[in-house]
Amino acid sequence: MDNVTKLQTKYQLAMERKNEIVARYGGRNLSRMLNISHPAVSKWKVVPPYRAFQIAKLGDFEVEYIRPDLNTSPTI
């Protein structure tokens, strides 16, 4: 599997995980917790990177789980 295909697969997984997270918290409740509008959450195809960190702080999901397509490890 080439790198592009791997990234596409991970992005597809991120899309599924967004649905899982919204189902877990509820779209309106999640928008309140993040202090953003409900329509903003509804427009996500995947959880935006900054929001992934905020959701991870809630304690139920890790950033790497929410967005497996992102490289969240520090680089030197």
Q: What is the pTM of this model?
A: 0.86
Topology of domain 3-66, CATH: 434 Repressor (Amino-terminal Domain) (1.10.260)
> What are the tens digits of pLDDT across the range 20-76?
999 999 999 999 999 999 999 999 999 999 999 999 999 999 999 999 998 877 666
Q: 54 or 1, which is more confident?
A: 54
* Statement: residue 1 has pLDDT above 80: no
Name every residue whose Cβ is closer than 8 Å to that of residue 69 and which is 6 or more positions away in sequence. 7, 10, 11, 13, 14, 46
* Statement: residue 3 has pLDDT above 90: no
Domain boundaries, the chain: 3-66
Tokens of 41: 């959450």
pLDDT, residue 52, reads 97
